[in-house]
Amino acid sequence: MTTIAAALAAARARLPASEARLLLGHALGRTAAWLVAHDDETLGEDALLNFASLVARRAGGEPVAYLLGHREFFGRCFAVSPAVLIPRPETELLIELAVSRVGVGRTANILDLGTGSGCIAITLALELPRAHVTAVDSSSAALQVAARNARALGAGLRLVQGDWFAGLGSERFDLIVSNPPYVAAVDTHLAVGDLRHEPLQALAAGADGLDAIRTITAQARQHLLPEGALLIEHGYDQAEAVRALMVGGGLSGITDHLDLAGVLRVTAGILGRSERAFADGLESESCPGQRVKTKQ
């Protein structure tokens, strides 16, 4: 018979200890603390087989988040599946900037383009309870995951299926946010690690990774209210290109924003505001620890 301690020891030959504990806890419906306190207990055959399957799948490259069926984002648990991109910590910067821009307790019409699991739209709906949030995705499977998360977390928002702005008619918004695909289609990273299992359409966007951002920046002006803002997450080396695309799309007050790793991760633009507008808005609605770089 195999004990919890023995099962974890065997799994550590193929996986990091932290992942082995997560997967066994998931198989048993128990916490990591429970596993430590009961490491001499014997595993039943079904639990052992389930754990062995999870270990094999993870060793084969499947993301832990897909195996567990969830991932934390901004302190909340979001269901995920291979139909959606796995939420990542750096995307939380979009939330911080959006909340600073709108201000808690204020009303605003917010649009999230390419919502996936809904983690951005749902978080904004919960952090900004007076906001009206619309979430768009071209994938019906992704929208099903987003709807499930909205119900589970008690968030009120509107879900629209469409390709970027296509399903929105002439609607305009105070704030548009997006974490679009921004990896170059030829990037070799797409063929390794967790990325192999995530939806390609949520990751890759043309030869230089900017096709989706080109579409968004070209059309955003027609869907922003006066003094409305566009926030786009992008790759570590794409800030300059995104700034140029925003200027070409008729936006001003362009600012770049650093994530916690010091990477220029989000670029913001304003419809009809001065060069310093977005940075000044952040100063009046302070975001602790936020660092802003303004393009002069």
Reported as a single tens digit per residue, the pLDDT across 135-148 is 999 999 999 999 99
Rama region for 154: left / alpha / beta (φ>0; ψ in -120 to 50; rest): left
How much of the chain, in percent, has pLDDT values that exceed 70?
92
Dist CA 224 CA 230 (whole Å): 8
Name the pTM for this structure. Answer: 0.87
Give phi and psi for 81, each to the nearest 5.
-150, 170
The pLDDT tens digits of the residues spanning 249-268 come to 999 999 999 998 899 999 99
Q: What does the domain layout of the chain look like in residue ranges?
A: 4-60, 79-294
Give me the pLDDT at residue 273, please.
52
In this prediction, residue 76 carries a pLDDT of 97
Tokens of 274: 């001065």
Calculate what percentage of the chain has a pLDDT beyond 90. Answer: 75
Instruction: Report the run of H or E that residue 253 belongs to, with start and end.
Output: strand 252-258
Architecture label for domain 79-294: 3-Layer(aba) Sandwich (3.40)
Per-residue pLDDT of 146-177, as tens digits, reads 999 999 999 999 999 999 999 999 999 999 99
Q: What is the mean pLDDT of the chain?
A: 89
Residue 224 bridge partners (DSSP): 173
User: Contact at 8 Å (CB) between 94 and 74?
Assistant: no
* Joined tokens for residue 291: 């660092």
Q: Is the pLDDT of residue 276 over 80?
A: no
